[in-house]
Amino acid sequence: MAENQDFEIELVHQTHASCVGKFRLTTGTDDPRRCVLTVKCELGEFQATEWNYFDALCLIREELEPSGWRPRCYGACEDVYPSNMCRDMGRGMVAYRNQIGRPAEQEHLVETFATSSEIEPASVEQQRAFFQRWLSSPR
């Protein structure tokens, strides 16, 4: 990634309250291969560093979840998960929208930080459990 990327993503609370989070994607200062995600919102500032942005998003989601908050973006959907190639070559910026019994194909790719009113964010644990069910399903 040559330069910073910024996204405004709604954070939703289990009580249906919401606030806007400013998400900034940068690279590590010591190692430009590292992916740094910073989220600023009325809840505070959160930062995670990982080898890809999807995993960095998961770390921040795990920080937000105990207080009932989740980002409304495709990267937080129960049925969205990146392949190893998406993680390695795409730095976790895209992931597959999986469906039980259906193979993952290019047309099922979504942008991790894209938003939509149809999104119902899930917990990181729910997302990982769905991915394991999808992996086990006949396709």
pLDDT band at 1 (very low <50, low <70, confident <90, very high): low
Residue pointed to by tokens 């190893």? 84
| Closest alpha carbon to 75 in 121, 41, 23, 15 | 121
Q: What average pLDDT does range 112-131 have in this prediction?
A: 97
Tell me if 34 sits within 8 A of 84, measured CB to CB.
no
Phi/psi of residue 18, each to 5°?
A: -150, 160
Instruction: Give domain limits for the chain.
Output: 5-136
Q: Check whether 2 has a pLDDT greater than 70.
A: no
pLDDT digits (tens, 9 = 90+) for 37-84: 999 999 999 999 999 999 999 999 999 999 999 999 999 999 999 999
